[in-house]
């Protein structure tokens, strides 16, 4: 009876294949062996994509100097994300000065704070709470002796709320109020999508949509997700549990990463478009439907595309601010 490979066995073999690819083009025999290996188990393709991503990150990190230690990148592993980790791609010194100013600039009238495309910003609040803003996001902050209130105007934000029993922390979004005394939760408001709430720590109370009865409250606990109802639809809101590893993937953006676990290449391309002016264009519907697994730098769509091209035997071309991917056996259409 054949023994099923473990994930560790597959990851180890994928790392070896990625290392061979890094040393130079594979020989015909090696390429045939790699193709045969990838056909043997559906998990192997995703493992190789992860290994290629780790290899690209390692190569970039070596540019930091001779003190770089490549050992942490030797084998693929699940990312350990810090709760308040932050990357800001507009310059560390500028960001530090901005954060200091934001910490004291909030007033009763409210301060509007925003991020540009590709920027992630940590906003410290007066009570010790923080708001981590994702790319192209905007909030309004109102603090006084009787209230702690933040309105999410657009985009995505992660709230780490310090306990204050006298002043519950309230997030307003699309006329709804999310209320807590201490919690960690993400709220996302993107165009053409329902508002999405994900609680990773503590409890968050959500005022019910007027459609389902004013005064009613939904309570979400850790590892729970809720899509807020669109007033135009009458489907009831259903909080649903989400696995801790899925929470980790959803919040990978806090460390400047994008995590995929079976999403299509087309969906991954759309995710990268939120963070960069460089667009990934896929000129083959079958290729766009290929599943993607791995952890990638959100600001590096080109590096992601290189990894995809190698794993899926695709052709990659640069065309201005576009990265064009197509099947290697089918030359891409001429640029317009």
Asked if residues 329 and 287 have their Cβ atoms less than 8 Å apart, the reply is no
- Asked if residue 139 and residue 194 are part of one domain, the reply reads yes
Residue 187 predicted with pLDDT over 90:
yes
Residue where a domain terminates, one of 175, 207, 242: 242
227 plus 112 within the same structural domain: yes
- Please give the residue that has the higher pLDDT: either 156 or 65: 156
Taking Cα atoms as reference points, which of 60, 61, 66, 55 lies closest to residue 18? Answer: 55
What average pLDDT does this structure show over 3-22?
78
Q: What is the DSSP letter of 100?
A: H
**Does 83 reside within a domain?**
no
Final residue of a structural domain among 214, 242, 270: 242
Mean of all residue pLDDT scores within the chain: 80
Give the pLDDT mean for 213-220. 78
Looking at per-residue pLDDT, the higher value among 43 and 123 belongs to 123
Amino acid 90: pLDDT: 36
Asked if the model's pLDDT at residue 248 lies above 50, the reply is: yes
Q: Are residues 236 and 101 in the same domain?
A: yes
CA 249 to chain centre: 7
Q: What is the mean pLDDT of residues 130-151?
A: 93
Give the whole-number percent of the chain exceeding pLDDT 70. 74
Res 113: pLDDT: 96
Highest mean pLDDT among 14-28, 42-56, 197-211, 266-280: 266-280
Stretch 320-335: mean pLDDT: 73
Q: In terms of domains, do 102 and 229 share one?
A: yes
Q: Give the bridge partners for 293, in sequence order.
A: 261
Statement to judge: residues 108 and 236 lie in one domain: yes
Using the predicted structure, report yes or no on whether residue 102 has a pLDDT greater than 50: no
Regarding whether 280 and 215 lie in a shared domain, the answer is no
What band does 323 get if pLDDT is binned at 50, 70 and 90?
Answer: very high
Comparison of pLDDT for 286 and 28, the residue scoring more = 286
User: What's residue 107's pLDDT?
Assistant: 47
16 in the same domain as 142:
no
Residues facing residue 22 across a β-bridge? none
Task: Please name which of 154, 164, 244 lies closest in space to residue 199, comparing C-alpha atoms.
Answer: 244
Domain interval for residue 119: 92-242
Question: What's the whole-number mean pLDDT along residues 136-153?
Answer: 93
Which candidate, 165, 163, 127, places its Cα nearest to that of 144? 127
**130 and 207 co-located in one domain:** yes
- pLDDT at residue 93 is higher than 60: no
Rounded-to-10 torsion of CA 19, 24, 27, 32: 40
Q: CA 327, CA 144: separation in Å to the nearest integer?
A: 58
Number of domains in the chain: 3
Q: Is residue 87 part of a domain?
A: no
226 and 99 housed in the same domain: yes
Q: Above 70 in pLDDT, residue 15?
A: yes
Q: Are residues 182 and 270 in the same domain?
A: no
79-106 average pLDDT score: 37
Residue 225 forms part of a structural domain: yes
The answer to whether residue 334 is domain-embedded is: yes
- Report how far residue 322's alpha carbon sits from residue 157's, in angstroms, rounded to the nearest whole number: 28
Question: Is residue 72 in some structural domain?
Answer: yes
Instruction: Indicate whether 204 and 282 sit together in one domain.
Output: no
Helix (H, G, I), strand (E, B) or coil at 296: strand
| Residue 86 belongs to a domain | no
Does residue 147 fall inside a structural domain?
Answer: yes
Q: Is residue 44 part of a domain?
A: yes
CATH classification at residue 143: 2.60.120.1440
SS3 call for 118: coil
From 84-88, 178-182, 232-236, 312-316, the region with the lowest mean pLDDT? 84-88
**Does the pLDDT at position 224 exceed 60?**
yes
**pLDDT score recorded for residue 213:** 55
21-79 confidence digits (pLDDT tens): 776 777 888 888 888 888 887 778 777 776 766 665 554 444 434 444 444 433 333 33
- Name the 3-class secondary structure at 216: coil
70 three-state secondary structure: coil
Of 242, 259, 291, the position where a domain reaches its end is 242
**Are 51 and 25 part of one and the same domain?**
yes
Nearest alpha carbon to residue 91 among 68, 119, 123 = 119
């Amino acid at each position: 009876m054949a023994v099923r490979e473990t994930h560790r066995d597959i990851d180890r073999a994928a790392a070896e294949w990625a290392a061979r690819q890094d040393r130079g083009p594979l020989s015909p025999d090696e390429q045939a062996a790699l193709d045969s290996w990838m056909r043997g188990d559906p998990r192997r393709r995703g493992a190789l994509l992860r290994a290629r991503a780790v290899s690209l990150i390692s190569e970039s990190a070596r540019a930091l100097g001779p003190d770089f230690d490549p050992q942490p990148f030797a084998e693929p592993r699940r990312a350990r994300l810090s709760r308040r980790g932050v990357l800001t791609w507009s310059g560390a010194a500028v960001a530090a000065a901005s954060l200091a100013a934001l910490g004291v600039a909030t007033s009763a009238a409210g301060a509007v704070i925003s991020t540009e495309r590709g920027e992630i910003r940590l906003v410290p609040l007066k009570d010790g709470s923080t708001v981590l803003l994702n790319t192209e996001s905007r909030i309004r902050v109102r603090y006084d002796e009787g209230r702690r209130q933040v309105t999410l105007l657009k985009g995505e934000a992660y709230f780490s709320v310090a306990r204050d029993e006298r002043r519950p922390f309230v997030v307003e979004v699309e006329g709804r109020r999310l209320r807590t005394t201490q919690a960690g939760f993400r709220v996302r408001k993107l165009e053409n999508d329902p508002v999405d709430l994900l609680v990773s720590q503590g409890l968050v109370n959500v005022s019910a949509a007027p459609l389902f009865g004013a005064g009613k409250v939904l309570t979400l606990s850790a590892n729970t997700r809720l899509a807020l109802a669109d007033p135009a639809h009458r489907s009831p809101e259903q909080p649903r549990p989400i696995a801790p590893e899925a929470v980790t993937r959803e919040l990978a953006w806090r460390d400047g990463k994008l995590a995929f676990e079976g999403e299509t290449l087309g969906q991954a391309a759309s995710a990268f478009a939120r963070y960069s002016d460089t667009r990934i264009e896929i000129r083959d519907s079958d290729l766009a439907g290929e599943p993607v697994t791995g952890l990638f730098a959100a600001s590096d769509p080109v590096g992601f595309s290189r990894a995809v091209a190698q794993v899926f035997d695709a052709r990659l071309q640069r065309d201005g601010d576009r990265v064009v991917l197509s099947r290697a056996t089918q030359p891409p259409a001429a640029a317009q």
